[in-house]
């Protein structure tokens, strides 16, 4: 069952709409959903003030889908803390999309602002456009970022992706900005495009696969060999099964991969970075 939210007009001030989740909508009629609060500055307003609402919710979150339409770049926190069900966004979405998400699925047919999937714990997010800064990262001053779930980005990602990441899976078809995977403590990242400088600062555990060009590596990362690596092909097959459009280039199973370990400035340097030898002769 689907509830449709159509934005009446793009708001001048950002809306904090963390109440747009299947859990808040489940079991409610259109009129009740319209009364659900949203925050604009210091005002508490209602969903019906900004959206035309139609459709029907399911009796439970898992049986409820929300379809959100319009220019949502100033609508923040869609799906924040979501713990079941499905949200589809037709267009671009604002900051904090799917932040602290526990379960369910979010599909964005456009781009998203900063802090998408921040401190995510579970679920699945598919972004067909670009993602802003701090994707899957921890908030300022917190020791943990992404703790589970899967995120797929078909476009590019900004700076400081996956800082403090502990668990989970991230796949990016495009390029990733600087300072990604800072203090990474676990999880897996696959980047089909290029990765900018200052990757993996103070990282201690986890795996990063770069299929494009890795701009540079800190001297605290040590070369750990070059060879064919069958388990890398396992991860690539995993990605291809779920998003075949991400791997338009055929990568031969006998391709040479170079492994680096780090960050040896830390007490427990267990981060693994794998790069294609054919794309990264400047690092070999």
Confidence of residue 216 (pLDDT cuts 50, 70, 90): very high
Taking the CA atoms of residue 168, residue 169, residue 172 and residue 176 in that order, the dihedral angle to the nearest 10 degrees is 40
Instruction: Specify the pLDDT at position 186.
Output: 98
* pLDDT at residue number 28: 96
The enclosing H or E element of 127 equals: strand 124-127
d(CA 146, CA 188): 11
pLDDT score of 254: 86
162 has pLDDT over 90: yes
Query: Which residue shows structure tokens 């998400």?
Result: 101
Mean pLDDT of 145-158: 98
- The mean pLDDT of 260-282, rounded to a whole number, is 96
Asked whether residue 264 carries a pLDDT value surpassing 90, the answer given is: yes
Is the pLDDT at 147 greater than 90? The verdict is yes
Q: Provide the pLDDT for residue 248.
A: 86
Q: pLDDT tier at 227 (50, 70, 90 boundaries)?
A: confident
Q: What is the mean pLDDT of residues 41-63?
A: 96
> Position of tokens 């995510």?
120
Mean pLDDT of the region 159-164: 98
Sign of the CA dihedral with 272 first, then 276, 279, and 284 last: positive
> What does the alpha-carbon distance between residue 81 and residue 122 come to, in Å, rounded to a whole number?
10
pLDDT at 252: 84
State how far the Cα of 151 lies from the Cα of 210, in Å rounded to an integer: 16
* Mean pLDDT across 39-59: 96
**Contact in structure between 197 and 178 (CB atoms under 8 Å):** yes
Provide the pLDDT confidence category of residue 100 given band limits of 50, 70 and 90. Answer: very high
Helix (H, G, I), strand (E, B) or coil at 268: coil
Tokens of 207: 């795996």
If you compute the radius of gyration of the chain from its CA atoms, what whole number of angstroms results?
Answer: 20
| Over residues 13-34, mean pLDDT | 97
Query: What pLDDT was estimated at residue 61?
Result: 96
pLDDT (tens digit per residue) in 194-213: 999 999 999 999 999 999 99
Contact of 277 with 284, CB cutoff 8 Å: yes
pTM of the model: 0.96
Whether the per-residue pLDDT at 164 is higher than 90: the answer is: yes
């Amino acid at each position: 069952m689907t509830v449709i939210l159509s934005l009446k007009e793009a708001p001048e001030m950002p809306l904090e709409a963390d109440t747009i989740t299947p859990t808040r909508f489940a079991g409610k009629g259109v009129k009740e959903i319209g009364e659900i609060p949203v925050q604009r500055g210091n005002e508490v307003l209602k969903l019906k003030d900004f959206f035309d609402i139609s459709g029907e919710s399911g009796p439970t979150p898992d049986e409820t889908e929300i379809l959100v339409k319009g220019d949502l770049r100033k609508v923040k926190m869609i799906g924040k803390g979501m713990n079941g069900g499905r949200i589809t966004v037709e267009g671009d979405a604002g900051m904090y999309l799917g932040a602290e998400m526990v379960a369910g699925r979010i599909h964005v047919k456009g781009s998203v602002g900063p802090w998408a999937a921040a401190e995510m714990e579970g679920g699945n997010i598919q972004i067909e456009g670009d993602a802003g800064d701090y994707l899957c990262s921890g908030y300022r001053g917190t020791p943990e970022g992404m703790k589970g779930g899967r995120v797929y980005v078909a476009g590019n990602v900004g700076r400081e992706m996956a800082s403090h990441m502990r668990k989970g899976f991230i796949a990016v078809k495009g390029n990733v900005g600087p300072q990604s995977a800072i203090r990474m403590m676990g999880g897996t990242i696959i980047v089909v495009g290029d990765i900018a400088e200052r990757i993996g600062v103070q990282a201690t555990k986890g795996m990063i696969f770069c299929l494009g060009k890795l701009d540079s590596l800190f001297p605290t990362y040590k070369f750990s060999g070059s060879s064919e690596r069958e388990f890398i092909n396992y991860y690539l097959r995993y990605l291809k099964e779920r998003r075949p459009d991400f791997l338009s280039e055929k990568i031969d199973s006998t391709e040479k991969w170079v492994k680096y370990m780090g960050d040896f400035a830390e007490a427990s340097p267990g981060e693994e970075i794998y790069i294609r030898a054919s794309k990264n002769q400047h690092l070999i």
